[in-house]
Amino acid sequence: MKHSSDTNTGIVIACLIIGSWAGLLAYLLFRYSVNFYSPLTYLFVLLQTHLFTGLFITAHDAMHGVVAKNKKLNKLIGQLCATLFVYNSYSRLFPKHHEHHKYVKSGKDPDYYKGNFFIWYFHFMKQYVSIGQIILAAVTYNLLILVSPESNVITFWVVPSLLSTLQLFYFGTYLPHKGEHAPDNIHQSNSQSKNHVLAFLSCYFFGYHYEHHHAPGTPWWKLYKVKELNVSK
């Protein structure tokens, strides 16, 4: 199976995610009036959460070199998406993610922690959140509330970014790696049951996590094809 970097498809999809995230956020911050009695407000929160997750998934694909064939462009897109995801550091994420693949579910795996959901989530966040990132987020927040209602900033920038970390952790780390796995499960990963619609909505097919570890050079938008090959345990 060819990587997305063999064509321009990965670049186009990355641009669609970045553009959709930025365009919707601009509308929600500067044109939309928050109404907590309207279902539309909550729909927008969920949609913006999904797009935040898309930014991280795109940065993740760049770490595997499958967004663009040109290495510099691939890295640039990865850095941009990581930065837009509330100032995550691509250079900090890159080595840790590859350690996760190399040492999955071992003492050297930075994403794994043998504990309950909340302790594991705290451990997971501690690996990637820095003081500098928190400062930049705080500065951005205070600048945004100068030009947009604070309720909009909280509802459509702060809340979706936090919900997205839960989405990524729950579907991309906790569910796939929790509990015991059979000795012959070489990737020590569970996989979501085949339902491509739910798999996309839940976390851009990363619930097909065994498949990702089995074929890490496959971009997120092709993971469903790996699932179709029935390689999951």
Residue 8: phi, psi to the nearest 5? -95, 5
Q: 143-200, pLDDT tens digit by residue?
A: 999 999 999 999 999 999 999 999 999 999 999 999 888 878 888 899 999 999 999 9
Please name the residue that has the structure tokens 């930014």.
55
Question: Which residues lie closer than 8 Å to 1 by C-beta, 6 or more apart?
Answer: 215, 218, 222, 225, 226
Q: Percentage of residues in the chain with pLDDT exceeding 90?
A: 81
DSSP helix/strand/coil, 69: coil
Closest CA to 176 of 198, 201, 206, 199: 206
| pLDDT score at 106 | 86
**Rounded to an integer, what distance in angstroms lies between the CA atom of residue 133 and that of residue 120?**
21
Domain ranges of the chain: 4-228
pTM above 0.85, yes or no: yes
For CA atoms 167, 89, 159, 31, give the dihedral sign.
Answer: negative
| pLDDT score at 1 | 44
Look at phi and psi of residue 49 and say left if phi exceeds 0, alpha if psi is from -120 to 50, else beta: alpha
Q: 47-96, pLDDT tens digit by residue?
A: 999 999 999 999 999 999 999 999 999 999 999 999 999 999 999 999 99
**Rounded to an integer, what distance in angstroms lies between the CA atom of residue 162 and that of residue 101?**
25
